[in-house]
A and B are shown apart, each in its own frame.
Chain A
Amino acid sequence: MEANVTKPFVKKKQNMKRYFMEGDGKELSTNKASKDMKKHSPEKKGSKPIGEKRFKKPIKMRTYSDKDGQQKTQQVFKIDISKTERHRKWQMKKQRQAQGEQRKLQHRKHMREQQDPFPGDAPIPKERIQKYERGEHIKDTGTRTGQGSRKLAEQEKKLQFAARQAARTEILLHEEAGFLEADEGEDTTSITQHDLAGVVDITSAQKFFELKLPDFGPYSVNYTRNGRFLLMGGVKGHVAAIDWMTKKLLCEVNVMETVNDVKWLHQETMFAVAQRQWTYMYDNQGIELHCLKKLDCVLRMEFLPFHFLLASANSKGYLSYIDVSIGEKVAGYSTQMGRLDVMCQNPSNAIVTLGHSGGTVTMWCPKLKEPVVKMLCHQSGVRSVAIEQAGQYMATSGIDRTLKIWDLRTYKMLHSYKVPMGAGQMAFSQQGLLATGMGNIVQVYKDSCRQEVKAPYLTHNLTSSVRSLQFCPYEDVLGVGHSTGFSSLIIPGAGEANFDALESNPYQTKQQRKEAEVKMLLEK
């Protein structure tokens, strides 16, 4: 009996056909197919009973005797494996896999054959390239020798490539400078610093702060070229250097002498302080490094970073240049124009500009004994001078309560404004905003050079009169030194939004600083 059941199974399995016994319910035959059947037993899943659809015809009827000796018949169905649910599923799976494979292959082939829809480099607008081109191209590259011609042509190609590449790198300047814009009927002038600080994000709001230093003021201030560090010098001798973003104090000393001006040198490791008699240099720990006896009674100083020159103007009308890299006086000229307490530098060409009591402004370079340019700007004494970042515009203000904007390319006056009182201090931001300090008011004018402005962009009232002003580079911040301390004001749109880390990096590490110093010296 056992043999009867098992034998055909073994045999038929080889032919890939399976037979099994479908009993009348209770007793199931013990072939392996029954297991399969169980697995898909429709009773459990509540679907159609087995044999209803799939097994249409019984191949044969088999009779066998029960344990009780009763004769029973069993239908034997032939089941085609290809028609089972499981096989179907398996087939589907295979098909899917094959399809996937095919798709993958097709995709690969497609990728191989695919043509770049945008072949070559991305096009650059002509105007943008033109911005970076330096003069016209060489049209005739024919020189006296073939080799020379070839070289010239090659060089020309390189220069054009340089312009294109420079234009292409503009894509990296993704930051944009923003400005305040007033609604209709409103005025940006009426927006206070507190309003601004309330609206901007936390980090920006922290940039509006005030240092109350009523004892040693008024303060002159200076930021480093990367805008990270702040130097303050109170007239009564208090000199402090801080990392103003983190408010970390680098050093704080009292020089016990009148401080006329303070200036960072090429990096945040050194600064110069113009004191009552001589000028001193300190390091960032506040330790005195040098006493420059050649610079006496200095009132104003300017540091020319690319030349490593410290230009200073003193109360006796003497202008001197000291090379801080070699520690030698490079040039010194007597201007014959009295006390020199108005000074600024042209950031684009390092020309030092002085303002004089006769209403004139003179421009100096260390190689010439006489001023390069002498301009009559005001009817009476000049109170302050400032030159824009690109060196195209100059702002002067005089005792005659006028503020004038000059075009330095033509030396012509562009605008003249009447102000309530002469601006004692002025400063241009990197984006061309002009800040003026008049008494205890700081006013900032937007785009005052290219067009006539009717009203200030922002104003801020301080508790005491302004002593010095400087916009912080790469930040929308204006630093104001006054009699009772220092105020840092938020001026939206003041700073350059994109910084070149190779040029001046606000996030400079110590190592980078060292490297930059060497590079600066080499380039000098």
Chain B
Amino acid sequence: GVLAHLERLEAQARESALKQEEKEQQEQKLAGLKARVQELRARRDELRAKLERQQKGILEKEGVETDAEQPSARAVLEWKIRSMKDLLQLFYLTGISGKLTKRGVCFCISTAYEGTYLHSYYLDVLTKPEVQIQRHSVPTFIPLEQIARKHLQTDIRRFLAVLSDHLNAYAGRRYQADQLQERFSDRLEGTLQRNSLCNLLVFHYNISGHSRSFLFSAKLLYSDLCCSLPTEAIVSCTPNAPGELAEMAAAHSETFRRLALHKAFDSFSKAEVTQD
């Protein structure tokens, strides 16, 4: 009786001690978090005020607020270093840039479709004992060896220009095919078939008119590897389709040869709207 009772009391005491400890830990943690929030809020408010003063100062042409009256020599140099890094980064926007390496140059060819920059490709070129490509990230279906054989030893700038033309045309073709799949998936019937070089595309698409929908099939061939428009566009419709459709197919073929793929489809959509 008594022993059991004592044991129970002991157990209760331990339990309440543990609970008390737990409660204190939680309170401490909470206090810590609260303090951190206060600290961060203060820092954030300080930065906001600093930014406001800075913007006001610039507007009033009083100059930028600095800690000292005159910028230190170090600050000036750090400004120049950052300014040069910013400018060097812009070179990739021009299409051909590079970095000097111990044994040569690592060139970077950037690609873009209109205003959108796409993938960049790298070539590690050694200049001694003779100009050679040590490493590169150019895909295998681009005729790199052929272009190198023709130009690399005689005119490296020309080599890079020709390679850039190939890569940009490939990137442009790929971009157009991707755009077609992304933006006009409701028009495509089945999958768009393409090869790795994206210079052969086969797809089926539907056009609606006069409250009916017609299926066309297209085969686009880009035999000029430096061009992102097809040299041949074969468009056909189902064999027993009405006559006007043959005219439409011919018109589409011409459109595909003249406009980028996704822009061609934009024009089809517009034509449909005006028709109905």
Chains A and B come from one and the same complex: no
